[in-house]
Structure formats: C-alpha cells, structure tokens
Amino acid sequence: MMKRDFEFAQKYGLRLREVIAPAAGGEETALPYTAEEDAVLINSGEWSGLGCVQAQAKMAAFAKRMDWYAYGYISSEGLGE
C-alpha cells in the first residue's frame, strides 16, 4: 500500500486490507508495509502467495487479456497516480 493511500484511509476512517506481507512471514508488520522486495501478496485471490514483481507481471497480462487497455481503464503508463 502506498503511504499516501494509507494516510488517506486513516484520515477518513476507511477499513484497510493488507495485500502485501514479508515473504518470510513471522512477526506482524507495522502498516503501511510498502516493501516490494522480499514480499508476497496476501488476500489477493489468485495472486496470493506470488512475489510482488511476479504478481505485477501476471496482473498486467490479465489486464491485457481482458482488453482493459482498449476501454481506457489502464493507459500504457499504468493505472495512474
């Protein structure tokens, strides 16, 4: 989770769902956990358990198969700021 998103959620009392965790598991991490190296996705359906870089590649391939680029959901630069 991006620090900006975390701060926004806290400011407005929004519920947070962890979707990234240290690959080694172990102790609970403080939020926001933003490391991508040595991290895995959790609570992310079919992408849970994948490393961040691997998951990003699979998600991009999924978006391409779904033709989300054609509908303007995603630009060639990504999801945006």
Q: Could you report the per-residue pLDDT of 11-23, keeping only the tens digit for each?
A: 999 998 888 888 8
- Residues of the domain holding 28: 3-51
Taking only the tens place, the pLDDT of each residue in 46-62 is 999 999 889 988 988 88
How many independent structural domains does the chain possess? 1
**Inside any domain, residue 57:** no
Q: Which residues of 41-80 are buried (b: 16+ CB within 10 A; e: fewer)?
A: beebeebeebebeebeeeeeeeeeeeeeeeeeebeeeeee
Is the residue at 60 inside a domain?
A: no
In a domain, residue 20? The reply is yes
Task: Assess if residue 30 is contained within a domain.
Answer: yes
User: Which two tokens mark 22?
Assistant: 């240290």
In a domain? residue 59: no
In a domain, 47, yes or no: yes
Q: How confident is the model at residue 69 (pLDDT cuts 50, 70, 90)?
A: low
